[in-house]
Structure 1
């Protein structure tokens, strides 16, 4: 049975939930180490690829530029993945017990916007400085900077879109606790399949705005759910604080349940942007 959010005045069951400090310990230590590890490979990889591109500026060794350009493209793609699609790196500054609906959204916006600004701060000078000083051997920076900025924007905009979906749902629905969570599948870009509780909830297709490629720690013990099962909703992971927007994985299978839902439920789903399949 679902349990009400603590905001409703009733005490929810918290058995199996970790505290924020405990649940984020692995992220606080694993995130930075992961990025340092990647940097140890990406920086030399970029330098070697850049060195191979330089002979391409001459007429004699242009063929060396082919593996160099491929290497630069690979480095840029991996760097964008590490920068834009990583999980939280520390304890979240909001309650993860279902009492706070605005805090998770605000923090996710802060993280995503901060990552994009870092991308602009790195890519912008790579484009502007070589053109300003007009040094021929710096021109490969222009290409990688433009590619990083364009692809980074392309990867970042869907993250903001899914976060906006979460924000819209949380303006309408309160949280209730669902346990356990059955993890079914994890695909790329934060797409995953899961089932909430044991009360006949349909298997959901969930999308995490951070697009992390890992399951949040302890999610199998239960999550806070805001929404309506046949229409979908949002989950908040206790402790780690990730948000995921979700809808039934097989949308057509819930058509009857949605049609038979009371007018008030259907109206709330419409206000929350859940009246049609969008995830």
Structure 2
């Protein structure tokens, strides 16, 4: 992907007249908050349900209070994902330094479940171009499902030998990208000029990221 051009920050207007970058980031922050709030509500409900059931006449037995234990696990997992599952800020950092460019093809080659989130193997390419690398992708807002509406192409920002961001055409889904085989693309990164490397460093894309740690901050 070309690495020329630099956006100094997120703007309220659409990028290149096609995609509103700031709106994409806001939507994904909102989706992340909704996900966390929903899980916290579920956790609180499970913790409170035994008290309600006992007051309604259900026998006060150990099995009823197991719901509280389940609620505590949901709450703990929610805070765990809060620490290890947030990628929106990381994607926003990439978007501050790279413009979005449209790619006409994206294909999902595989999918792996991890405790940090589902990690997809994808190939993002443009018709008429060959040699697009395999990439690992995770949903920035913590969703586990593969986004809908990608058949017609996606918006991508970044420098694929280092990584980047993939945005669905409707702007509702944003995925963080890293090379599926980091070492395989080492020659391409080595041949990158100083300007490209410096830009990737500013965007936070120069560190190796394995599949298992795709959702961890700083990985």
Partner of 1:127: 47
Partner of 2:188: 257
Q: 1:117 to 1:263 in 2, by over 3 A?
A: same
Name the structure where helix makes up a greater proportion of residues. 1
Describe the SS at the equivalent of 2:15. Answer: helix
Describe the SS at the equivalent of 1:221. Answer: coil
- 1:100-119 equivalences in 2 (<5 Å): 100-119=20-39
Is 1:187 equivalent to 2:115 in the alignment? no
Give the TM-score normalised by the residue count of structure 2: 0.73
The answer to whether the Cα contact below 8 Å between 1:178 and 1:222 also exists between their aligned partners in 2 is yes
Is 1:178 equivalent to 2:103 in the alignment? yes
C-alpha displacement of 1:240 = 6.0
Pairs aligned (count): 188
C-alpha displacement of 1:203 = 1.1
C-alpha displacement of 1:183 = 2.5
Which residue, 81, 86, 91 being the options, matches 1:166? 91
**C-alpha separation in 2, matches of 1:269 and 1:213:** 27
Partner of 1:139: 65
The answer to whether the Cα contact below 8 Å between 2:32 and 2:142 also exists between their aligned partners in 1 is no
Describe the SS at the equivalent of 2:155. Answer: strand
**C-alpha separation in 1, matches of 2:70 and 2:174:** 32
Give the TM-score normalised by the residue count of structure 1: 0.59
CA RMSD of aligned residues (A): 2.9
Describe the SS at the equivalent of 1:195. Answer: strand
Name the structure where strand makes up a greater proportion of residues. 2
Larger radius of gyration: 1
**C-alpha separation in 2, matches of 1:119 and 1:267:** 39
Deviations 1:69-117 (A, max 9, x none): xxxxxxxxxxxxxxxxxxxxxxxxxxxx4x2222122211112212212
**C-alpha separation in 2, matches of 1:101 and 1:147:** 36
The answer to whether the Cα contact below 8 Å between 1:166 and 1:245 also exists between their aligned partners in 2 is yes
Is 1:151 equivalent to 2:82 in the alignment? no
* Runs of 5+ unmatched residues, structure 1: 10-96
Partner of 1:236: 167
**C-alpha separation in 2, matches of 1:191 and 1:141:** 30
The answer to whether the Cα contact below 8 Å between 2:155 and 2:169 also exists between their aligned partners in 1 is yes
